[in-house]
Amino acid sequence: MSYSAASLRWAREEADRPHATREHRQALREIARTVEQRRERQVTGWEPDHVLRMLADERAALIREDVARITEPMGTHQAADWLARRVAELQGRALTWRGQAAGLPPARDELAGMYARAQCAIWWRRCMRRECVRLRELAGMQRGEVCRRAGQVYVTTDTVERRRERVAANRAMLEATELEAADGEVITLAQAADSSTANPAIRRGELMTRIRGCEEWAQAAGYVGLFTTHTCPSRYHAQTMHGGANPRHDGSTPRDAQGWLRRTWQRTRARLHRLRVPVFGFRVAEPHHDGCPHWHMLLWTTPAEVERLAEVMRAQWLAEDGDEPGAQQHRFRSVAMVGGQAAGYVAKYVAKNVDDAGAVGTQGHHDEDHTGQADWIGGTAARVAAWASAHGIRQFQSIGQPPVTVWRELRRVELQAVQGAAPAVVEAHAAVSRDAGRRACWRRYMDAQGGPTVGRGYAVRIMRADEAPAEPNAYGEERERATLGVYHVSRPDELIQSSRREWRPRGHWTAADRAPVPAELRVCGFMGQTATAGCPPRTRVNNCTGRPRGGLMSAGLVGLLTANLRGSGAITTQEGHTWPTPTPPTTSPRPTAARWITSHATSRAP
């Protein structure tokens, strides 16, 4: 129990004592009211970390008390809605569940996980730290500090410095943490991170490899490229081009602007799908000087559909506030890509958003903002990364391409493992390999997967274990099934196993753990039913436009639960199943003998 909770309980108990005078009771009630107001006070963004820790403990205690006071039966959907509203009132991260957009209730285990998070001080601590960063940025935008004229483009310098300190602290922790394999090899977590896509150089190299491969595939198939720029209506911009408050700004944040861009693209994608316009490529999110995001998209389609593609995108981006000044000229712009220009043209945008390498020289480069005015920018990757981290904006996204997860998993597969496999698996493995000085080829990988714009109909997929690990996560939820390798869709029972090594903190290996496992037992129990071979979709709802199907809503509502949140925190359904809401520890949930699973040959640069 936290200090404030103990004070509140004491005040209430003292006020109920029969010997207390009226003045004494009134004073104790005032104390209880003050403590309650303090527990629910909203953060401003400038609290030190030790205050955030204290408030996180108070938020978790409040949720536990609120759950304990619930005595009336509540349906699963009602319980989830109540919890989401209560968490939002306390300034926490919005709690969502699968199927929420379609009006479906959460599953039983998912609801229990939601309640466990809301009662966890560590979860609240993360939420409040994130909220503080966004509140400070919002205050800076309102004061006019985030703009070119003030010398703080994209984000405030305070956020950049705080992020730099956090990255440095994390780096020191990674370098001080040693991992050991079963054969005695010792590395640091920093070495493992540097050999993965967490390394900006590797991430940039992989992106450029994919862009170049898409361009090569498009040229071979006779597709043409279109480079587009998409901006938001003026009400999302806090500052004008030359600095100064924008009179049209309605208080929207960069996250609101990003949400508008995403919704507009969803409508555009649905329209293109109905018109059967094949589209694949990349999307890059960048900030204007005032922090408002805009998109650059590099798309390929057939020559017969390129004009329709541009028309549909322009119509969707101008459907809202399309008559305001400058909208026709700057809301949507497109440039045709010919003769292999795409990779070189987009290279500067990739470098600017990753590590400033290659495309940014001593003179910097010019980037057009929403007014068409050129602005000199140099060495901006740190500020762009701080902007994306502060507002939770995804910088890069592929469109209509085979999954990169399979590409990365194939790099963990040894050459001997693909002998005798399906031709598509052999071809895909050859595409990702860099043997004999040959570079990885994304175009060849796309051919092996069946090309772009095939949805989830790609040929090579991820193979996962039949069962999840027995140990649940800190919130009592089932952990993700372990990845074993890849398989071809026509041979779901044939596993192409990837090479992985198990790493533990140094000194946690025992003699029994180091004993080798017989080869015939390494994948025992993992090649069961066909239905468990692939990875299920992330959500239960497909938001893409499809054919109308009758009875979908009624089918989705089958099996609704009626839950009763009792005073003990347990949840009971109408079928009689009862399970307690797990309360995560207030300290770090990381086990003392934590394990890290990495590839045999850790992720490499493409």
Active site residues per annotation: 345, 349
Q: Which residue type, as a one-letter code, is found at position 555?
A: A
Do 385 and 163 contact (CB within 8 A), yes or no?
Answer: yes
Do 487 and 461 contact (CB within 8 A), yes or no?
Answer: yes
The residues near 471 (Cβ < 8 Å, ≥ 6 apart) are 479
Q: What is the DSSP letter of 47?
A: -
235: nearest Cα among 245, 248, 247: 248
Chain length of the chain? 606
Residue reference for tokens 């005595």: 71
485: Cα separation from own chain's centroid: 23
CA-CA distance, 286 to 494, in Å (whole number)? 43
Terminal CA-CA length for the chain: 52
DSSP 253-304: -HHHHHHHHHHHHHHHHHHHHHTT---EEEEEEEE-TTS-EEEEEEEEE-GG
Residue 61 backbone dihedrals phi, psi, to 5 degrees: -65, -40
Compute the CA torsion angle 330, 336, 341, 344 (nearest 10 deg).
Answer: 20
In this structure, what token pair is assigned to residue 51?
Answer: 């205050």
407: nearest Cα among 445, 436, 455: 445
CA-CA distance, 518 to 528, in Å (whole number)? 19
For 493, the enclosing helix (H) or strand (E) is strand 491-497
The interaxial angle of helices 157-176 and 121-142, nearest 10 deg, is: 150
CA-CA distance, 233 to 249, in Å (whole number)? 9
CA-CA distance, 323 to 206, in Å (whole number)? 41
Q: Is the dihedral of CA 350, 351, 353, 354 positive or negative?
A: positive
The residues near 169 (Cβ < 8 Å, ≥ 6 apart) are none
For the stretch 87-96, what's the b/e string if a residue is b when 16 or more beta carbons lie within 10 angstroms of its beta carbon?
beebbbbebe
Q: Which residue type, as a one-letter code, is found at position 183?
A: D
In this structure, what token pair is assigned to residue 283?
Answer: 């999307």
The residues near 595 (Cβ < 8 Å, ≥ 6 apart) are 502, 503, 504
Q: Is the dihedral of CA 530, 108, 543, 96 positive or negative?
A: negative
Cα→Cα distances 196→350, 356, 408, 492, 595, Å = 18, 19, 10, 29, 18
The interaxial angle of helices 381-391 and 254-274, nearest 10 deg, is: 80
